[in-house]
Amino acid sequence: MEEKKKKIYILATGGTIAGRGQEGKTAVYKAGGLNLDELLSTIPKLHDQVEMDGEQMLSVDSNNVTVKDWIQMANRINELSKTDIDGFVITHGTDTMDETAYFLNLTVKTEKPVIITGAMRPATAASADGPLNLYQAISLAASSEAWGQGVLVCFCDSIYSGRDVQKVNTFKTDAFNEKDLACLGYMRDEYCYFYNKSLAVHTVRSMFDVTQVKELPRVDILYFCVDANPDLLHFSAQHSKGIVICGTGSGDYSEAWMKEIAKLEDKGIPVVRASRIGSGVITENKYFEQSQNCIPAYTLPPQKARILLSLSLLYTNQFEEIKKIFQRY
């Protein structure tokens, strides 16, 4: 008896994987130049194994992706997941891929595989990496082993958790990893091999629902460096509902910033301590957290701490409740 083909739905958003430039060159190109049909024509035929359908959601450089686009993606996947589709693939630019992956990891309500992929070289480059990444992402989305794993990033033969993946190189094809944590597994051609699993709360167990959400509370990221002006905190608090500090070392900053952060406690502004280092863990520190509104980011980098704080503020502005959310997610 012939095995039923898996139905995979592809959401194309542009990015380098769909980039067009000078033939053979890798550095100068226009992101999002190819449409979905043109993208699919670049990969080995998978029609014997999967049935593919999809849509062109966006055609942009990923630096132009917005929170409204994230909400649209999450709601579209949630809607389609109720049908007989077996898995999803999102093609995406690499610059903000880790942010999109984490947002969807928190807001998609399905155990079906949701795989994000992209490329470091445009489609017109010599030895473009996009075709293999897309081929493997579709294969991963069709695998029963990817069910219940949360949103995954498939890139350069590796499988990463949407929570922990980070872009770590500006031009190499092996541009992603999970820093202190190992990848979840590997791809070899169309076969996936899982060795690890993310234990953080995600997808169907996540509390975050954006079905009726139009926009998220504004959260700013402030970068601390030597002699950084604490007025930045005052200015940000006038325009945002929360602040993430990209601090030195273990999410650290000056005494001048400590004093300004303490003033924000009475205004109800939560301040999350993250680090500019890129690896390690931020834990509670009574020296830097002298006011109740300070919350450690734990293993989240600043850009992902911003996402979690913004979603948390949809539900609560209580500092202790937000801290508990950061411990779980």
Determine the topology of domain 6-205 in CATH.
Rossmann fold (3.40.50)
CATH 1.10.10.10 fits 219-328, yes or no: no
Backbone dihedral angles phi then psi of residue 191, each to the nearest 5 degrees: -100, 135
- The 10s digit of each residue's pLDDT in 112-141 is 999 999 999 999 999 999 999 999 999 999
- The 10s digit of each residue's pLDDT in 55-67 is 999 999 999 999 9
Long-range contacts, 169-176 (Cβ 8 Å, 24+): 171/26, 171/120, 172/120, 173/119, 173/120, 173/121, 173/129, 175/94, 175/120, 176/94, 176/97, 176/98
The pLDDT, as a whole number, for residue 182 is 86
Share above pLDDT 90 across residues of the chain, in percent, rounded to a whole number: 87
Please state, in angstroms and rounded to a whole number, the distance separating the CA atoms of residues 128 and 135: 13
Share above pLDDT 70 across residues of the chain, in percent, rounded to a whole number: 99
Domain boundaries, the chain: 6-205, 219-328
Please state, in angstroms and rounded to a whole number, the distance separating the CA atoms of residues 259 and 262: 5
When pLDDT is averaged across residues 206-233 and rounded to a whole number, the result is 98
- Local structure of residue 268 (DSSP, 8 states): T
Burial 32-44 (b: 16+ CB within 10 A, else e): bbbebeebbebbe
For the annotated catalytic residues, the residue numbers are: 16
| pLDDT bracket for residue 1 (50, 70, 90) | low
The pLDDT, as a whole number, for residue 241 is 98
- Whether 51 and 37 have beta carbons less than 8 Å apart is answered as no
| pLDDT bracket for residue 167 (50, 70, 90) | very high
The pLDDT, as a whole number, for residue 25 is 76
The pLDDT, as a whole number, for residue 28 is 82
- Whether 96 and 104 have beta carbons less than 8 Å apart is answered as no
Residues in a beta bridge with 9:
53, 88
Better-scored residue on pLDDT, 31 or 88? 88
The pLDDT, as a whole number, for residue 213 is 97
3 pLDDT more than 80:
no
Q: Is residue 187 within a helix (H) or strand (E), and if so which, with residue range?
A: strand 185-188
